[in-house]
Amino acid sequence: MRKSIIFLLSIIYFCTPIIHKAYANEVSTFNIQSEAAILVDSETGAVLYEKNADQRMYPASLTKIATAIYAIENGDLDDLVTVSEDATTTGGTSVFLEEGEQVPLKKLIQGMLINSGNDAATAIAEHLDGSMEKYEKHLNQYLLKKVKVNDTHFTNPHGLFEQNHYTTAGDLAKITNYALKNEMFRKTFGTKELEWKGKSWDTTLITHHLMLKGEIPYDSVTGGKTGYVPESKFTLATTAKQDGMELTAIVLRGTTDKEVYNDTEKLLDYGFDQFKHSYISHSDVFESENKTFTTGLNDVMVTIPKTPVQKTLTPDGQLQFTNDQGELIQSVILVEKQKKQSHPKSVVQNENKTMGYYGKYATLILILAALMISVRKFKKRKRVKAT
- Going by the annotation, the residues of the binding site are 225
Q: Which of 34, 42, 51, 61 is catalytic?
A: 61
Other Cβ atoms less than 10 A from the Cβ of 93: the count is 18
Other Cβ atoms less than 10 A from the Cβ of 195: the count is 8
Q: Which of 64, 106, 174, 233 is catalytic?
A: 64
**64 is known as an active-site residue:** yes
Identity at 266, one-letter amino acid code? K
Taking the C-alpha atoms of residue 35 and residue 38, their distance in angstroms, rounded to an integer, is 11
Q: Which of 34, 116, 232, 331 is catalytic?
A: 116
C-alpha distances in angstroms, 379 versus 41, 78, 374, 386? Answer: 99, 97, 9, 11
Strands 233-242 and 202-206 turn out to be unpaired
16: left (phi over 0), alpha (psi -120 to 50) or beta: left
Report the SS3 class of residue 342: coil
Identity at 124, one-letter amino acid code? I
Report the SS3 class of residue 224: strand
Alpha helices in the chain (DSSP H): 2-9, 63-74, 85-88, 105-114, 118-129, 132-142, 169-180, 183-189, 257-274, 345-386
Identity at 4, one-letter amino acid code? S
Which among 246, 248, 199 has a CA at the least distance from the CA of 49?
248
Taking the C-alpha atoms of residue 221 and residue 227, their distance in angstroms, rounded to an integer, is 17
Taking the C-alpha atoms of residue 345 and residue 351, their distance in angstroms, rounded to an integer, is 10
**116 is known as an active-site residue:** yes
Which among 12, 18, 10, 11 has a CA at the least distance from the CA of 317?
18
Q: What share of the chain is helix, strand, coil (3-state, %, to 5)?
A: 40, 25, 35
Specify binding-site residues for substrate. 225
DSSP 156-191: SSS----TT-BB-HHHHHHHHHHHHTSHHHHHHHT-
User: Phi and psi of 89, rounded to 5°?
Assistant: -100, 5
Q: Which residues are catalytic?
A: 61, 64, 116
